[in-house]
Amino acid sequence: MLPRHLRTVGGRCFTPSCNPRPLCMSGNFPWWSGPPRPWSSFFPAPTWHLQDNSRPHHYAAPHRPPLPGGPIFPWFPPPASWLHLSHFNMDAKGEEPFRKRKKEMGEGEEQQYKRKSWTKRPYPPASDLRVPPIHGTPEVVVPASPPTESRAAPAQRRWEDFSRHYPERSSKDKFDFTVMSYNILSQDLLEDNSGLYSHCRRPYLFWNYRLPNILRELQDMNADILCLQEVQEDHYEEQIKPRLEALGYACEYKSRTGTKPDGCAICFKSDKFKLKLVKPVEYFRRNIALLDRDNIGLVLMLQPETKQKDAPMICVANTHLLYNPRRGDIKLTQLAILLAEITRVAQVQDSRFYPIVLCGDFNSVPGSPLHRFIKEGTLHYEGMTIGKVSGQEKYTRGQRILSIPIWPQTLGINQQCVYEAPAKNQKQPGQSSAEETVMKTDGQDTESDKRVASSLRHHFSLSSVYSHYFPDSGMPEVTTCHSRCAVTVDYIFYSASDSNVFRQPGSDAPCDGLQLLGRLSLLTEQDLWSVNGLPNEINSSDHLSLLAKFRLNL
C-alpha cells in the first residue's frame, strides 16, 4: 500500500475516489442468465489455442491504476505489481497481519465492520436477502450513497470454447461438468488487511453489499462444482450454504485451524454427483515447528450420476495455501500433505488414479517453483531460497535456503508426496531404492543420493486450465488485484487426457483423463484497473472466479 503522504498528490487522492466501473456491465450482466445455459453460443467464438503456453514469469506490468480526473502532476502511483512489498511482520508469523485501524470510520460503519460471532447473527439470513436482478446494481442498503459514475467500455470476460477440438460423442458416452474456483474474500481478512483495499469505495466493502453480488455470481455461473476459498464460517452457515442448497448444491466445508474464522468449501450439484468420500485436510502439526500455520484443504470423491454407464469417481481437491511470500518451505510442505491425501483417496492401483481436479488459491505465481512442481511433477530445490518458491517476491537475496529434506521425516510423507507405510523400510509405490536409501541414511548421503533427496516428485499428471498469458499481447492473466499486487495465484489443475488416469475396465474411451472443453477468460491488470481494481461495485472479491468445463469420456 502507498504511504499515506504519497496517496494525496497534486491535491487529489489516488486511492479512495477513483471512478469505479464494473466489469462487463454494458447493459448486460457479465456472465449469462437463466438456465439452460448455452455455453458456447452465448459467448463470442474463442480465439484460443489448447496448448498451455507457459512462459517465464515476469513482474512489472506497464500500466497503472487510473488517477481520477487525469494526471496534472508528473507523478503516478506505481502499478500494483511494483508495490508487492512484504509486510515486515511476515517472517515471524506471516499470516497474522496487524489488526487494522478502524478509527477513520463513522460509528455506523464501524458497527458493520466489527467481527462478530456467527451465533449472534449480525447479518440477515439468506432468505431475507434480495438477490439483485441480473441487470443493474444490487438492491441492498449501502451506508453511503455512491456518487454518480461515468461508465467506460467494460472489460470483457469471454467464454473460450475448445469443444471443437474433440470428436462429438453421444450423451451416453460422455459426462460433461463445470468447475469453478473462487476466493470470495472473507470479510474478516478484508478488515484485517484493509490497506489492500484503500483504492475501493468504502460502501462496496461492506459484507451486506458484497454478499448479494457474490451469491449472484455463483448463481449465474451455475457451475456443477464450486471450490470456494476464504469462506467465513458464520457467513457460510447462515447465508452461503442455505442459498447454495436452495440452488441444488450439497455443500462440504473445512474451517481453518486455530482461531481463523474462514475456510474452504466444495459444493456440488446433488443431481449430478453422489458424494463418496470427504477428507478434510489440516496442515497444522502440533509436533512439527514448520507446520505451525492454520491453512487447510478439502478433498472429495464424487461419483458422477449417469444413467447409462458407470462413470469413474472424480477427486476434487480445494485448498488455500499460506500467503507469506517468504515461507516457501511451508507452502511446499502444505502442498505435499495435500498431494499425499489425494494419493490416499484417488489411487486406484500403483500409480493409476481417478481423474483429479485440484483447485485453489496457491499463493504462488505462474512459473514459480511451486507452480512448476504441480505441473511438471518434479522439483529440484537444492540451493533454492525459501522466498523464491512462490515467486511472489522479486528479491530473495539474504534469505535462507530450503533445507534438505524440506520437512522432517516425522511427518511421514516421503519426497514423492506419498504417506510412508507405517512399517519401516517398506517401499512406497513408485519409490526407487535410491530414494529409499536416502530416507534411511539421512546425514551421510553420497552426491547422487543428495540430488535425489533434494528433488520432490508427485505421481499425478496435472495440467492447468489457464495459460497465464494472453497469446496475442503476452500480457499476464490476473486472478487477484488489489492495492499491492495484481497476479495469478488461483488455479484449476486437472488430470488431462493421456495422463495416468484409471480406465474403466472394458472402456473404449479414447483417453483416460479429462478433456478441457472451455473456460471463462481472465483479464489483465490493465483491464482490472480500468474498473478500479478489485473489489468494485459488481465484483465483490479481490479475486476473479475461474471457471472451466470438462468432459469425462465413459
DSSP string, 346-366: HEEETTEE--EEEEEE-S--T
User: Mask: binding to ligand KL2, 89-118, rule CB under 6 A, as x and -?
Assistant: -x----x-x---------------------
Minimum distance between the CB of residue 196 and ligand KL2, rounded to whole angstroms?
Answer: 6
Contact 158, 521 (CB under 8 A): yes
For ligand KL2, give the closer residue by CB, 189 or 531.
189
CA separation for the pair 450, 275 (Å, rounded): 43
Q: Using the rule CB under 6 A, is 396 a contact of ligand KL2?
A: no
User: Mask: binding to ligand KL2, 280-319, rule CB under 6 A, as x and -?
Assistant: ----------------------------------------
HSE-CB for 486 with a 13 A CA cutoff:
32
Minimum distance between the CB of residue 88 and ligand KL2, rounded to whole angstroms?
Answer: 9
Minimum distance between the CB of residue 94 and ligand KL2, rounded to whole angstroms?
Answer: 6
Tell me the three cell numbers of residue 219.
448463481
For ligand KL2, give the closer residue by CB, 390 or 428.
390
Minimum distance between the CB of residue 257 and ligand KL2, rounded to whole angstroms?
Answer: 13
CA separation for the pair 67, 104 (Å, rounded): 22
**Helix boundaries (H) for 174-325:** 187-192, 207-221, 233-235, 241-246
Minimum distance between the CB of residue 322 and ligand KL2, rounded to whole angstroms?
Answer: 7
Among 183, 364, 532, 536, binds ligand KL2 (CB under 6 A): 183
Q: Which positions from 355 through 374 interact with ligand KL2, judged by CB under 6 A?
A: 361, 363
Q: Please, what sign has the CA dihedral across residues 285, 290, 293, 297?
A: negative
Among 178, 193, 255, 333, binds ligand KL2 (CB under 6 A): 193
Q: Using the rule CB under 6 A, is 323 a contact of ligand KL2?
A: yes
CA separation for the pair 487, 350 (Å, rounded): 37
Strands 314-320 and 356-361: parallel
Alpha-carbon distances, residue 542 vs 67, 295, 384, 490, 520 (angstroms): 20, 19, 30, 12, 17
Q: Using the rule CB under 6 A, is 480 a contact of ligand KL2?
A: yes
Minimum distance between the CB of residue 73 and ligand KL2, rounded to whole angstroms?
Answer: 28
Choose one: 61-69, 125-133, 189-197, 414-422; the region binding ligand KL2 (CB under 6 A): 189-197
Minimum distance between the CB of residue 244 and ligand KL2, rounded to whole angstroms?
Answer: 21
DSSP string, 37-95: --HHHHSPPP---SS----------S--PPPTT---SS--PPPGGGG-PPPTTHHHHTT
Q: Please report where in the chains the cell 444413467 appears, as a residue.
A: 307
Q: Using the rule CB under 6 A, is 489 a contact of ligand KL2?
A: yes
Instruction: By CB under 6 A, name the binding residues for ligand KL2.
Output: 87, 90, 95, 97, 183, 189, 193, 196, 323, 361, 363, 480, 489, 542
